[in-house]
Amino acid sequence: MAKDAGLVQVPSRHTIEQSVERLQQAFTEKGLKIFTIIDHSGEAEKVGLAMRPTKVVLFGSPKAGTPLMVAAPSLAIDLPLKALVAEDAAGKVWVTYNSPEYLRERHGFPADLVKNLAGAGALIEKAVE
């Protein structure tokens, strides 16, 4: 994945299911809300299609996200935050998320509000190490 596309990709030492569980636990412990988990590969299977295991965890904090969306309403298209947990062709699990800097550049919110998003990456990385 292209770094200039604003995506940060980190390896997970765990299975898809374990990675999702670890992310949920880490987010919950930090007081973040888990909005939903989308099981793309599970939904594909239901209609007779195959894809590698792929899930997306939507998470965030209305307290942190609302000021961002007030400052830049278009940011609502990218919030809540997302963690893509996917297995590659070699069976390796990766977690991918949007960098806060990319979101700031994309939506033009004030630099002082980046702090509202900045901790998510470290939390994701720690959860799947």
Q: What is the pLDDT of residue 89?
A: 95
Q: How far apart are CA 112 and CA 108, in angstroms?
A: 11
Whether the predicted pLDDT of 95 surpasses 80: yes
Residue 24: CATH number of its domain: 3.30.310.70
Q: How do residues 3-27 score in pLDDT, each as one tens digit?
A: 568 999 999 999 999 999 999 999 9
Domain of residue 8 covers 3-127
Q: How do residues 22-33 score in pLDDT, each as one tens digit?
A: 999 999 999 999
Half-sphere exposure of 37 (CA within 13 A, CB side): 16
Whether the predicted pLDDT of 2 surpasses 90: no
Average pLDDT over residues 106-128: 95
CA angle 115, 12, 75 (to 5 degrees): 35
As for how many domains the chain has, the answer is: 1
**Structure tokens given for 105:** 């550049």
Overall residue count recorded for the chain in this entry: 129
Does the pTM of the predicted model rise above 0.85?
Answer: yes
